[in-house]
Structure 1
Amino acid sequence: MTRSFTDEFAAGLASYGGRPCIEFEGRWYTGDEVAAYGDAIARALRDAGVPDDAPVGLVVRNRLPHAAAIIGFLAAGRTVSMIYSFQSPEAVARDVETLALAAVVADVEDWTAPVVDAARRAGSAGVAIDLRTPPVAALMSRDPGRTHARAEPGVALQILTSGTTGPPKRQSIPTPVLQRTVFSVTSGETAPADAPPELAYWQFGGIGVCQLIAGIFNGRRIVMLERFSVDGYVAAVRDHRITRSGVQPAVIRMLLDADVAKEDLASLEFLISASGPLDPETRDEFESRYGIPIVLAYGATEFAGSLCAWTPDLRQQFGAAKRNSVGRALPDVQLRIVDPDTGAHLAAGEQGLLEAKVAPIGPDWIRTTDIASIDTDGFVYLHGRADGAINRGGFKILPETVRRVLISHPAVRDACVVGVPDGRLGQVPFAAIEVAPGHPVPSDDDLADLVRRSLPVYNVPVAFTVVDELPRNPALKVSLPAVAALYRAR
């Protein structure tokens, strides 16, 4: 009889036993310890009157208790819906109330007054987790008189996009699809028990959780960082002899700017650059300085992992000739390029919108907002985005979303937000503001705080400028290049 993903994942967790499973803040936690922490959370939920099959929310951080919570939920077949922790308390509270879940699990520091009040209004049970306090403490019980969200049939996770088409959306990932998540992270490769650990630092609230899932499923040791820092990343690679790592393009630039010693990265056989375009100059500089090849990859939250990959055989045969490609489609993926206006299938080499059909997800073609081409050998090349999103170090920002927040300020008549180049993050948002007549000019701090209260912090523009009138083209549309020029003129 074929075992379900949940059964196989639970078996992967059980396989660690007393062996090291996750390293966090310099300490290895065994599989037994990770499982026990997840069990403690499950007991707290039961004590709070939460049914075992009810979905729960997790205000997620890359910390050991949160990883243990995710692992425990998946091993038990409980649906978990992610809530970004790097939002303002008011934004977290809005998510808690909107989701109307039977329970919310969060770090002690994230149980702020607005979040507690929101959970009370929703009738949700609240569980606090923190390594520095008793493992789990129920803050409140579920209100049995309230109707709470039910689990979608077969859904294991609701993870968050980085907001390409607006504020981050929750993408439901069915349990069977997690099997392809594991495959897409590993490209089907297995590793011996004594292989170096996996390095996990991408945010678990989104696509970064795939690495945690794949690691546990395959019984691999995992070194976990709460957030990226050059020192933390380099120490992990050096001390654990990491052989490969997925990184955002901004990370490559930061390693170069920090002038990391070549010997500290010597164990790396290659890096996988994903989550945004990597400029050729940065790639060439890194490969020349460190002798570590960089391969490009492509995936998305809605596909629960990668769509394309470079296998060792492909790297050996085509690596030099097609180094700017993100690889070929994985075995369970079909890709095509279509005309954005007519939907007509385009020939090899022509640029258009990329569409994908992923067998475990369903029979439909899913259209992306990425402009791409596919050559006659089936290799995929990305050429930008069709939606004008700003890619800030891997986080996607929709300018119109930020503009709507800014013009909600009573002193702002109109605004325009554009992406401007940044040597470390690739792009950052910049805003030009028209002030409404009769109003004082709002301060940069006031405008930044307005955005911060409404959207995840990465949406906050790096600078603001006030103009009498926004520059417009003959069609009376704001000229984006002219607005960008205002930033360069500051």
Structure 2
Amino acid sequence: MSNRVSESIAETFENLSDLDGVEVDGCWLKWSALAALASRLDLLIEETGAPAQARIGLVARNHPESVAAFLGLLKGGYCVVLINPFQTEQAIAEDVAQLGLSLMMAEPEDFDGLGLARSAKENNFPLINLGALEGRAPHLVQHCTAQAKPESEDCALLIGTSGTSGKPKRIPIRYDTLFASVVETDTINREFGEERRPGLKPSPLIQYSPLAHITGALTIARVGITGRRLILLKKFDPKKWIQAISTYKHQIAGLPPAMMKMVLDEAPGADELQSLRAVWTGSAPPDPAVVLEFEKRYSVHVLGNYGATEYCGAIANERLVDRIEYGRAKNGAVGRVRRHVADFRIVDPDTGSEKAGEGVLEVRVHRVGPEWIRTSDLASIDDDDCLFIHGRADDAINRGGFKIVPTIITDALKQHDAVDEAFALGLADARLGQVPVAIVQLHSGAEATAEILLAHLRNKLVAYQVPIAIKIVATLPRTPSMKFDKPGMRALFDDDHPIKSAG
């Protein structure tokens, strides 16, 4: 199969073979090492009889073996089904049983703990052990002929959403969509303030997001397509992120809100981050106090960014030139909508009719397809085409007919000196429909009880907005991509987790 993604990765493997490709824990791996593992996998796939464009599962970790496998599969034109290793064995077994895989591959460490051999046997497909770049070569573990039907010839990825609001959905991404997203990302990075300097290599990309998530997958695909170097973080580590910025003098970098706070808590010196012009953030609304502190401490602009798995990348972003011109006049905006990338409209949440002002955001992303995608985001677009996200329509808590936006509760909680982070959600209630509850993480060394925090809220909120219970935890549950884990939050209030009622 011929497509620009596969062709570009093949050119990178061939033309950059003697150059550094991926850095892991301070050691650089050549492109030739990644290409060699990918070539070995090609032979094993051929041995299984997997059809062209087959669905091939990859239990994807932020390790060089998974990176080589991912790029090799894209080079081969397959449909790569990214499987999140941070699931339970049962969840992976249920996922795999529904995917129609021709075969699956994984790193050695995942064979025992995730029950992959049993899943392969039960679903009758071959299983490949990726081995190690510096160790045993990839090899077949489960020998059988690949039986599954080929996927559509233009499907590059079948990738799960982040799962912050429930069970992740699988989103298909075409090869042309993937390539268009990579090209657009380079444009967006220039708008964030990245300048290419003649004669100097661009700074390496930093892989801070899991490969099984869209941000991580797009970063690795971009590395393969453009030949840009990569710093591979097995998981986000603020010390390693700071070291990367200090060593390679990045002009821009990405930091989701939770990771930005982790960097602040690490308290690097201003000289360590002095090369940065801007940091872009997304995935969740940032805490304004964290943003202002980061900007003040490091003399850097924090810029908004809006995207989703369904869009295969960003469709709105804040530009450095706009921030310099307007300052904080557009405070709260995630950025300007990219009209050449997508169509946007605001609709009434009940009737679906297009309306002015605030409503539910719908988008039609040109690189994805002609259908309108209805989001769960409450949004508005001003006269300068700046997009404001006001919350999520599906997060609103309906307490006996009174609508409560969770951020009203969390913002009030964070006004208490002891509260570091907070999350609010609605629980089903037989009488009222829903009732609000909250989960709180305190500052290190701080002390507060649920009763104290509820008393604080009664002084800040109207009666129906006050949660019926507050649970204080050491750390708020998060997904591997550091978004709040809403199912995990809800589980804290299961029957086996007693709650303290507000009365």
* Fold match by TM threshold 0.5: yes
Mark the CA change 1:422 to 1:351 in structure 2 (over 3 Å): closer, same or farther.
Answer: farther
Distance (whole Å) between structure 2 residues aligned to residue 140 and residue 239 of structure 1: 44
Any runs of at least 4 consecutive aligned residues in structure 1 with deviations exceeding 3 A, and if so which?
Answer: 2-5, 12-15, 188-193, 311-320, 397-400, 415-419, 421-424, 456-470
Answer whether contact 1:154 1:174 (CA < 8 A) is retained: yes
Call closer, same or farther: CA 1:359–1:175 in 2, change over 3 Å: same
1:19 CA displacement: 1.1
Q: Percent identity?
A: 29
Q: What aligned pairs does 1:5-154 form with structure 2 within 5 A after superposition? A: 5-112=5-112, 114-131=115-132, 133-143=135-145, 147-154=147-154
Residues 152/53 of structure 1: CA separation in 2 closer, same or farther (3 Å cut): closer
Output the CA distance in 2 between the equivalents of 1:160 and 1:233. 26
Q: Return the offset for 1:371.
A: 0.9
User: CA 1:114 to 1:339, structure 2 compared with 1: closer, same or farther past 3 Å?
Assistant: same
Length-normalised TM-score, structure 2? 0.77
Report the 3-state secondary structure (helix = DSSP H, G, I; strand = E; otherwise coil) of the residue aligned with 1:356: strand
Cα contact 2:53–2:151 (8 A) shared by 1: yes
* Pair 325,218 (structure 1): closer, same or farther in 2 beyond 3 Å: same
- Greater shift in the superposed pair: 128-137 or 212-221: 128-137
Q: Paired residue for 1:420?
A: 439
Tell me the amino acid that sits aligned with residue 102 of structure 2: A
1:186 alignment partner, SS class: helix
Residue of structure 2 in register with 1:310 after alignment: 318
d(CA) in 2 for partners of 1:157, 1:398: 34
Structure-1 separation of matches of 2:222 and 2:42: 22
**Cα distance per residue 1:68-105 (max 9 Å; x no partner):** 11111111211110110011122222222222311101
Kept in 2, the 8 Å contact 1:125–1:142? The answer is: yes
Give the C-alpha shift of residue 126 in structure 1.
Answer: 0.6
**1:61-460 alignment to 2 at 5 Å?**
61-112=61-112, 114-131=115-132, 133-143=135-145, 147-187=147-187, 189=190, 191=196, 194-208=201-215, 209-330=217-338, 331-347=340-356, 350-388=357-395, 420-422=439-441, 459-460=487-488
Q: How many residues align?
A: 428
Deviation at 1:419, TM superposition (A): 5.2
Partner SS state of residue 255, structure 1: helix
CA distance in 2, matches of 1:195, 1:45: 35
2:98 counterpart SS class: helix
Whole-Å separation in 2 of the counterparts to 1:61 and 1:104? 14
State whether residues 186 and 214 of structure 1, in contact with CA within 8 Å, keep that contact through their aligned partners in structure 2.
no
Secondary structure, counterpart of 1:326 in structure 2: strand
- Letter of the structure 1 residue corresponding to residue 439 of structure 2: V
Q: 1:459 to 1:130 in 2, by over 3 A?
A: farther
TM-score (norm 1): 0.78
Q: Structure 2 counterpart of 1:310, which letter?
A: E
Pairwise CA distance, 1:148: 1.7
In structure 2, relative to structure 1, the CA distance for the partners of 1:244 and 1:136 (3 Å cut) is same
Give me the whole-angstrom Cα distance separating, in 1, the residues matched to 2:106 and 2:234: 15
CA RMSD of aligned residues (A): 3.5
Look up the SS of the partner of 2:394 in the other structure: coil
**Aligned match of 2:410:** none
CA contact (8 A) 2:163 2:169 kept: yes
- Following the alignment from structure 1 to structure 2, what is the Cα–Cα distance between the partners of residues 256 and 70? 33
Tell me how far 1:16 sits from its aligned partner.
Answer: 1.9
Cα distance in 2 between the residues matched to 1:103 and 1:73: 12
* Aligned residue type for 2:143: S
Letter in 2 for 1:262: A
Aligned position for 1:479 = none
1:159 offset after TM fit, Å? 1.2
Change (3 A) 1:461 1:327: closer
Kindly state the Cα deviation for residue 459 of structure 1 after the two structures are TM-superposed.
4.2
State the alpha-carbon separation in 2 of the partners of residues 469 and 161 from structure 1.
Answer: 28
Asked if 2 retains the 8 angstrom alpha-carbon contact of 1:166 and 1:398, the reply is no
- Counterpart CA distance in 1 for 2:442 and 2:9 is 40
Taking the aligned partners of 2:186 and 2:103, their CA distance within structure 1 comes to 33
| 1:15, distance to aligned residue in structure 2 (A) | 3.5
Report the CA distance shift for 1:419/1:104 in structure 2 as closer, same or farther (over 3 A): farther
Determine the structure 1 residue equivalent to 2:478. Answer: none
Over 3 Å counting, the alpha-carbon distance change for 1:29 and 1:417 in structure 2 is farther
Deviates more, 1:70-79 or 1:214-223: 214-223
**Contact (CA 8 Å) 1:334, 1:356: kept in 2 or not?**
yes
CA distance in 2, matches of 1:175, 1:465: 42
- Offset from partner CA, 1:348-397 (integer Å, 9 cap, x none): xx111111111121222211111111000101011111122999xxxxx9
Find the aligned partners of 2:352 and 2:62 in 1 and give their Cα distance: 40
Cα distance in 1 for residues equivalent to 2:316 and 2:485: 30
3-state SS in 2 of match to 1:250:
helix
* Aligned amino acid, residue 205 of structure 1: A
List alignment gaps of at least 5 residues for structure 2.
397-405, 408-422, 429-433, 444-483
Q: Judge conservation of contact 2:315–2:337 (CA < 8 Å) in 1.
A: yes
Counterparts of 2:159 and 2:346 in 1: how far apart (Å)?
A: 27
The one-letter amino acid of 2:27's match is: R
Residue 468 of structure 1: how far off its partner (Å) = 11
SS in 1 for 2:361: strand
For structure 1, the residue ranges without an aligned partner over 5 or more in a row are 392-396, 404-414, 425-455, 471-482
**Structure 1 pair 320/85, CA: closer, same or farther in 2 (3 Å)?**
same
Contact 1:46 1:52 in 2 (8 A): no
Secondary structure of residue in 2 paired with 1:180: helix
Secondary structure, aligned partner of 1:51: coil
